[in-house]
């Protein structure tokens, strides 16, 4: 498995050879630096730790400064571990979009946009009530009954109600790679990915 950290640039569209207009997302992926190699002997499991995005030294704790200094690199904003890689890596190696090819499929992980506290119509897709009849004055978007009254005299767990929406870790699978620009460190994938423009994402083969 090959993985890399990137930043969502935004959405656009490209024309296929058939003339069809395809919505796509542009991601600035890498260059990333290998900041640690974990092995079963020293850490209990095998993994490769990768860092992306420069971070101000004055805002970085001293232990982290020393950690990144071992890889001979500046402090990084985002650090992610990948279980295994297709090729052997060494501390301080650089990873870029050249590891991806046009036409292959990738998974993208990101944090969805936070929507704050939302009602059941927006959060769960409730239809609401068609009309304000029978004296129904201001309850058009209300959830309705939550369950029985005398028994069991409680609301069951999992009841779809209003609450905080968004801000979740979301993984979108099988997105086709439409274009790779190694000079600009850009990768274009088909469709939409979670998060706002400028948010960090993880791309996995």
**Strand (E) positions, 16-144?**
21-29, 32-38, 47-54, 76-82, 94-95, 105-111, 116-118
Indicate if 122 and 38 belong to the same structural domain. Answer: no
Encoded tokens for 29: 């992926």
pLDDT value of residue 132? 66
Confidence of residue 80 (pLDDT cuts 50, 70, 90): very high
51 shares a domain with 73? yes
* Residues 177 and 123 occupy one common structural domain: no
> What pLDDT, in 10s, does the model give residues 154-203?
888 999 999 999 999 999 999 999 999 989 999 999 999 999 999 999 99
Q: How many CA atoms lie within 13 A of 150 on its CB side?
A: 0
**Does 135 map to a domain?**
no
Quick one: 123 and 188 in the same domain?
no
Residues 96 and 180 in one domain: yes
Q: Collect all residues with Cβ–Cβ distance below 8 Å to 1 and sequence separation of at least 6.
A: 82, 83, 84, 85, 86, 204, 205
Q: Please report whether residue 155 resides in a domain.
A: yes
- Is residue 181 in some structural domain? yes
Domain that includes residue 72, residue range: 3-115+168-204
Is residue 110 a contact partner of residue 173, using CB atoms and an 8 Å limit? no
Flag whether 68 is in a domain. Answer: yes
Residues 6 or more apart from 150 whose CB is under 8 A from it?
none
Instruction: Identify whether residues 156 and 196 lie together within a single domain.
Output: no
Regarding whether 56 and 89 lie in a shared domain, the answer is yes
Q: What is the pLDDT of residues 122-165, one digit of tens each?
A: 999 998 776 666 666 677 888 888 877 788 888 889 999 999 99
Number of domains into which the chain is organized? 2
Are residues 123 and 162 both part of a single domain?
Answer: yes
Same domain flag for 15 and 62: yes
Its pTM surpasses 0.75: yes
**Is 66 found in the same domain as 55?**
yes
User: What residues contact 105, with CB distance under 8 A and at least 6 apart?
Assistant: 174, 175, 176, 177
Same structural domain for residues 160 and 59?
A: no
Q: Is residue 58 part of a domain?
A: yes
Domain identity same for 81 and 120? no
**What's the confidence (pLDDT) of residue 10?**
95
């Amino acid at each position: 498995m090959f993985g890399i950290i990137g930043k969502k640039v935004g959405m656009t569209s490209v024309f296929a050879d058939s003339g069809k207009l395809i919505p796509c997302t542009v991601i600035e992926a890498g260059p990333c630096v290998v900041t640690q190699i974990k092995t079963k002997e020293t850490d209990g499991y095998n993994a490769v730790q990768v860092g992306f995005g420069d971070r101000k030294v004055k805002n970085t704790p001293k232990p982290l400064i020393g950690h990144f200094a071992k890889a001979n690199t500046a402090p990084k904003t985002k650090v992610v571990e990948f279980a295994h890689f297709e090729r052997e890596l060494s501390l301080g190696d650089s990873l870029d979009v050249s590891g991806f090819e046009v036409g292959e499929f990738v998974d993208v992980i990101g944090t969805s946009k936070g929507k704050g506290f939302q009602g059941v119509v927006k959060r769960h897709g409730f239809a609401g009530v068609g009309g304000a009849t029978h004296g129904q004055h201001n309850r058009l978007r209300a959830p309705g009954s939550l369950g029985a009254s005398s028994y069991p005299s409680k609301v069951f767990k999992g009841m779809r109600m209003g609450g905080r929406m968004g801000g979740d870790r979301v993984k979108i699978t099988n997105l086709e790679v439409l274009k790779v620009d190694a000079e600009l460190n850009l990768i274009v994938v088909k469709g939409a990915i979670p998060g706002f423009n400028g948010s960090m994402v993880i791309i996995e083969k």
